């Protein structure tokens, strides 16, 4: 099993890591249910979204999204693979 690293800025690639490859893999890392979306207004792959202090977990299938985790202060972090 790979090592998982939490980042709070940039992308997995810009931090020298790989993106998580599935919604299921995200659930394994977080131990939580991960919702699935497909859009370009959110970061690609896995990310945590924290509106009003409540963490939610998302997997975005729109891999060509150029959003980074630090573009929006409600996107608080994401996990990557080493």
What is the structure's pLDDT at 2? 79
Backbone torsions φ then ψ of 78, nearest 5 degrees: -150, 155
Summarize the chain as % helix, strand, coil (round to 5). Answer: 15, 30, 50
- pTM: predicted TM-score of the whole model, two decimal places: 0.89
Cα gap 80→77, rounded to integer Å: 10
Structure confidence by residue, pLDDT tens digits, 30-82: 999 999 999 999 999 999 999 999 999 999 999 988 899 999 999 999 999 99
Cα gap 36→57, rounded to integer Å: 9
């Amino acid at each position: 099993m790979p090592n998982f690293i939490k980042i709070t800025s940039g992308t997995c690639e810009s931090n020298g890591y790989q993106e998580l490859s599935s919604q299921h893999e995200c659930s394994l890392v977080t131990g939580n249910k991960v919702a699935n979306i497909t859009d370009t207004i959110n970061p690609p792959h896995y990310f945590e979204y924290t509106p009003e202090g409540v963490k939610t977990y998302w997997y975005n299938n729109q891999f060509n999204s150029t959003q980074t985790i630090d573009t929006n202060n409600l996107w608080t972090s994401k996990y990557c693979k080493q």
